[in-house]
Amino acid sequence: MDASSYAFYHGVAHTRSALHRWSSAPLRVVGRWLAGSTVAAAGLLLGVLLVAALSGGYTQVVTLQPPFAVGGWGSVGEVLGSNILVLALHALACVAGFIAGSELPLQASAHSGLSRWVHQHGGRIAIAFVACATAFSLSIQAYVLGHTLAGVAHFLRVSPELLLVGVLPHAVPELIALFLPLAAWIIASRRGQWDELLAATLVTVAIAVPLLLVAALIEVYVSPHLFSTLTGIHPPVVREVGGFVIRDRVR
């Protein structure tokens, strides 16, 4: 059996072993991932709020739609589709970590020179790459979302804090679901448990997809009512003060 075939069977065996082992105490395993993704979600939300506080004077014109106005199943599909794409990217990072940390070292003997070094140190390279990519992604998300939050809040004449509270019912489960694979990646890499990452990917995606569906339903059907309750804005809305008009796109 060549090195590639051995690595494949090794990966399948360890994935099955991890799934079987976790089945005896699923809450403990999933609980660690949920705690990690919750910390990441909270950090992102705090970053968004900080950027919003520093982005005064910017105005972004919006059309009232979810999460500011009740939508329909089409809106649910749009929200879910975009979130599934992000989840897929995070899951691929988890799979890449599994390959780099668990499978590449098994194939190192079949290579030489620089290729051998890369195979031997795939785990460390993966940690550095994903850490940098994650930090960059979170920074960009915090800036874009915070800037948008400030602009929308200024346009609607409400505080960014109040607007953020209005989206928390769907934003919190959504972010927790999206960060689940990355949380599993970080926990496994810190413990050197690279061979568990493929199993972790399967489990976290299985948990995240229904959670994202629930978050999309809340965003489209629940968050708009909370937004109206907090701000007193009900679509369709026409405001003369400030010279702007808000109209509901959803029919």
Q: How far apart are CA 108 and CA 125, in angstroms?
A: 15
101 domain residue, yes or no? yes
251 domain residue, yes or no? no
Q: What's the confidence (pLDDT) of residue 17?
A: 81
Burial of 245 (0-12, 13-18, 19+ CB in 10 A): exposed
pLDDT tens sequence across 69-102? 888 899 999 999 999 998 998 888 777 766 665 5
Greatest pairwise CA separation for the chain in angstroms: 76
114 domain residue, yes or no? yes
What's the number of domains the chain is made of?
A: 1
71 domain residue, yes or no? yes
102 domain residue, yes or no? yes
Q: What's the confidence (pLDDT) of residue 251?
A: 36
191 domain residue, yes or no? yes
125 domain residue, yes or no? yes
Q: What's the confidence (pLDDT) of residue 215?
A: 96
**Non-local CB neighbours of 86 within 8 Å, separated by 6+ positions:** 178
Domain extent for 97: 3-246
147 domain residue, yes or no? yes
- CB atoms near residue 42 (< 10 Å): 13
| Residue among 250, 251, 248 nearest 64 (CA) | 248
pLDDT tens sequence across 9-34? 455 776 788 888 888 888 898 999 99
Q: How far apart are CA 155 and CA 170, in angstroms?
A: 22
Confidence band (pLDDT; 50, 70, 90) for 108?
A: very low
By three-state DSSP, how is residue 193 classified?
A: coil
Q: Are 134 and 40 in contact (CB under 8 A)?
A: no
Q: Crossing angle for the helix pair 122-156 and 26-54, nearest 10 degrees?
A: 50
